Structure 1
Amino acid sequence: MGNSCVTGSGRSNQGQCQVSNGAQTTFKWTIDGFSSLLDKGNAWTCSSVFQIRGLNWYLRLNLRDKKSGDKEEYVSLKLVLAQRHVRSDKVVEASFQFLIYDQSYGKHHEEHQVSHNFQSTSTTSGTSCMIPLTTLKEKSSGFLVNNCCILGVEFTRVVVAEGKDVSETLFVQKINNICCDPQVYSWNIDDFFLLKNLSISPVFELCGHKWFITIHPSGQDKSGNYLSLYLSMKVSDTLHENSGNLVELSISIKDQETGKHRKLSGRCQFSKNSLSWGWPKFISLEDFKDSSNGFLLKKKCCIEAQIAVIGSSKIE
């Protein structure tokens, strides 16, 4: 789960860029089921995509992050400007601070005042670890109450379009919950070279939702040196406008000879604002087409998606 998937859908308001020093705007993220998420190990969990000041953002959380040369575990939080939402010739200048809420006294503890320039080629805030895990778990701290913690980000300066405060609650299911059992779909492609620049698999149903795989055989970067793969949720009335599903997903290109598959995994939230997640540089075309790797044999290949819905979210 060390590799991070990126959102592959959604649009933002591309109005005139300007800098605002107006009222602060905050996104709150409640983790209900903290211990369940902690038990899932060292990996990044993505919040739903939220809109503040006309731009789409999401948070990435790791409850078991490590510093180089330090055995202690840390809670890390990063802010990401959703890719494809910023033109290549624009820069989003943002000042913000990460928050962790003391629920016992109704206050928040400020961590990491950050100023960062977001561009299409640099969309992550690049913050350091926020707080030691042991500190967060201390009963006297008030950070963790009834297996629930509240994190957030507060903007003080950003390229603007009018927006309101947004909050989200993430409900993480227990590991032994039957809904967490992963389900698998395999897409057998008989002739890779007949695929169009953007091709999709047949629609399939896993974990109570309909999905499809999107492939860009020549990638999405200008060099055309990579194969891109995304998992997309088919738009459904069952997905409410203000709710989402936390999904552990893996996409694999099967090695048809040795079983050494190319596999990338992520933990991402699917909602009506973010229906697609994946990897623009899943594998280099050189490695994919090298017959000794077993990925492409006699024009045939097999792509596998593994999905487990491990939680849900509600935006208010």
Structure 2
Amino acid sequence: MGSNSAAVSTIVQSWREHPPSSYSLKIQNFSQLEKSTASSDDKYQSRLFSSGGYNWRLIVYPKGNKKDNGSGFISMYVEIDSKSLMIFTPPTEVFAELRFFVYNKKENKYFTIQDVEVKRFNALKTVWGLQQVISSETFTNPENGYVFEGDQCEFGVDVIVAPPLTNWEILSFDEKLLNPKFSWNVKNFSTLKKHLYKSGSFSMGGRKWIIQLYPKGDSRAAGKWLSVFLCLADTDGDKPKADEKIFMQGHVRVLDPLGSNHVSRTLSAWYEESSTSWGWARTLPLTELRKVYLDKEDTLSVEIEFKVVSSTKYSPVI
């Protein structure tokens, strides 16, 4: 029988009215149990019971497990049926939380003790438990209420099996983007009539993006500013799903055709289902734009340089 070797700080004791949920072992004559186990291997093993899809046994040492520093105490363990571990190849590992119970008739409650660390059951370690649940002196004193009505008592256990991990996400940030710049040349800028123009879509960081440009500003710019926004393309594979987030960091520039006085803004934003567009309503005053940022052919050049784009893998997929 292996030792639990748990630090004292991980052992929690409490009282509970609700009986054990996994298994209860009621003894009609505790003294006789002590005698019967002393003539064999000092322990009583319950029949198999099921919890969390696996089969288990409750093991009680009425006089303590001497091989596990349990002398002078009641020792209690849980053993997983080895056949339960052989259902899959390779053999299964099962993680479970264990709570042990001793009924107290006087309090009409269950003394509860557990090691709060979740235990790993596998082919090499099929037994976990507590070697010092309650002292024999405390337990056998009829005045304390653990032994009652002519030597009766009750032990129990909750085996709470942790289900396998099925919900997770992996967030990564791509800082080594291939061809991280995208340029859009808007021709005949001075004669543009529409309120909004959109670039063609382009790929970056596993997503498709577009630039939205308001030649005379959006509703917040009062017709005096150039408004520029970077948006996720409105296609099923690119717009964020419910509760999904995509981070983008980079620079948005209006290029000076002479190459010396670019207007550059740093964009750092999380894109999500309700926010697929980020940028500035007031990117550049139109008076300054007309003086400096149109080339001889009346073309305005806007550039996006990406530094980081995040991606997230989910299970299950949203």
Query: TM-score normalised by the shorter chain: which range applies?
Result: 0.3 to 0.5
TM-score (norm 1): 0.40
Higher relative CO (CA 8 A, sep ≥ 6), structure 1 or 2?
Answer: 1
TM-score (norm 2): 0.40
Larger Rg: 2
